[in-house]
Amino acid sequence: MQRADAGVAGLAAVVALAVVMLATDQAAGYDRITGSPLKSRSEVIAQHGMAATSHPLATQIALDVLKQGGNAIDAAIAANAALTLMEPTGNGLGGDVFAIVWHAESGQLHGYNGSGRSPQSLTLEWFLENGYEDIPQRGPLPVSVPGVVDGWFALHERFGELPMADILAPTIAYARDGHPVPELIAWYWARSVPVLAEWPGFLEQFTIDGRAPRAGELWKNPGIANTLQQLADEGRDAFYRGDIARTIADYMAEHGGFLSYEDLASHTGEWIEPVSTNYRGVEVWQLPPNGQGIAALQILNILEGFDLAEYGFGSPEHVHLFTEAKKLAFEDRARHYADLDFMAVDVDWLISKDYAEERRALIDPTRAASTVAAGRPQLNEGDTINLAIADRHGNMVSLIQSNYRGKGSGMTPPGLGFILQNRGEMFVLREGHPNTYSPGKRPFHTIIPAFLTREGEPWVSFGLMGGGMQPQGHAQIVINLVDFGMTLQAAGDAPRIHHSGSTEPTGQALAMTDGGQLQLESGFAYETVRRLLEMGHRVTWAQGPYGGYQAVERDARHGVWIGASESRKDGQAAGY
């Protein structure tokens, strides 16, 4: 009996040792047996088109649009429409949208900023006179103009091929007939119900007898079906100048809000030039503020001065240097990023190599910084979904859309089937800050699309959701692809680094004073964690998973598309 117990114990020890060895090898980012980069699944490879979204049914809708003769822009709109119905925990018709489009015929990148502005009748003085130090997270006060519908029609007018009615038809059918709710979305949905239940219209339109739909349960939303049908029949003005706008305005006025019919009627998005930095031969593209995309460019510029490939993925040096670069970029993010019409900092200088060299010199390669200050750049004399789609013509789209804080403000106008965003929470209620509240101003935005080119040719369209995780995640995806040679799927599946505690653009945290918290997903070696602690990092349990990654890559050598979908989400990459 004792010998048997000893044998079992010995076997257990061997198994435990093997698990530790495997975990250590995995922490290095590679499979111990094959030597290949770790990934949860193989890349999807197809010849004529590719779609990667956070919901399999949205991916299938995008592919159907491509097969019917639509292009990547049509498919992106169709997929986003589907996600407003199927993943209301992350986006909706009440939110904003940003996109980067590679237009194959012209060989150019185009950027679109579809963020809405604050109500004209609401002022900073009103907030201060009524005792507000910060804008509330939910309810009527953080609501800004929804920009997504205008964004769809702007993208479609410039690049679309199929009629908008055909693009919206699949989602309208699913909204009327029902669709099964995936498990992760069901989990987030259940969490949102007690948080948003107090706001008028939410329980009636987003619950079943006061509860969230369960995984596998069919969900119908006749309100959004009717709203989308109006858009299909009457165009974008139905939302901003028609009955939908009147319903929103009347509802907001009834419940203490300031968003008016005039605010909606005057809204327009903006075509903007993407900005970029070259990281070891790869051009990394983002949109300029009021989004936070240039933070990823600043991080990469700083890190370009270090040989990350030599250190290796998951090494203490890799994690430490990334975290320190993030701290520096995020202090600039907190102090300088805002609506370009109100921003005094020169974006070109912020993302320049000279400025990165100045900031890089502040990093101690052996010690974590407890405090860092924003730089002094030159002045001018201004819960989320993402998807990536490519088509047979070579067009590629990176699109990201959000209500902010998952389902948004909770304000749910009657009969429309969607919730208004709470993006206005990101404004600062004190004078002198670039993101200070002002009527008709676009708030600081967290949602950012990304694109990579090499030698002027399109390479990767991608995005990664998650508030302040987004620029951190974008930079990590680029580093995984470029420095560590990972495949598209492995670059997204590799364990992620998340640092919190930097100064926030909202002013709610005025300064980082204790170095913040370094949170690592499982997969990093204990030796790395121990060394990081010795260097002064406050390493804590991950509150993740961090991000929601979708990507499409152009394999020009073989003339095919490669797709990758986030293993941390319900999503799917598929092609034809």
Catalytic residue positions? Answer: 384
In angstroms, rounded to a whole number, what is the distance separating the alpha carbons of residues 174 and 419? 18
H/E stretch holding 272: strand 270-272
Q: Which residues of 92-128 are buried (b: 16+ CB within 10 A; e: fewer)?
A: bbbbbbbbbbbbbeeeebbbbbbbbbbbbebebeebe
Helical pair 164-177 and 56-67, crossing angle rounded to 10 deg:
140
Cα–Cα distance for residue pair 89/186, rounded to 1 Å: 9
Residue 310 CB neighbour total at 10 angstroms: 10
Q: What percentage of the chain's residues is helix, strand, coil (to nearest 5)?
A: 40, 20, 45
CA distances from 339 to 177, 382, 391, 458, 472 (A): 41, 7, 33, 28, 21
Our CA angle for 232, 384, 336, nearest 5°, is 115
How far is the C-alpha of 525 from the C-alpha of 523, rounded, in Å? 6
Give 67's strand partners.
none
Sorted by sequence, the CB contacts under 8 Å of residue 45 that are 6+ apart come out as 555, 560, 561, 562, 563, 575
Identify residue 228 by its one-letter amino acid code: L
Q: How far is CA 532 from the centre of its chain?
A: 28
Q: What is the spatial distance between Cα 2 and Cα 191, in angstroms, rounded to a whole number?
A: 50
Per the structure block, which two tokens stand in for 30? 């590679």
Pairing between β-strand 517-520 and β-strand 539-541 as defined by DSSP bridges: parallel
CB 481, CB 460: distance < 8 Å: yes
How far is Cα 203 from Cα 196, in angstroms, rounded to an integer?
8
Alpha-carbon distances, residue 138 vs 198, 231, 406, 527 (angstroms): 10, 27, 11, 42
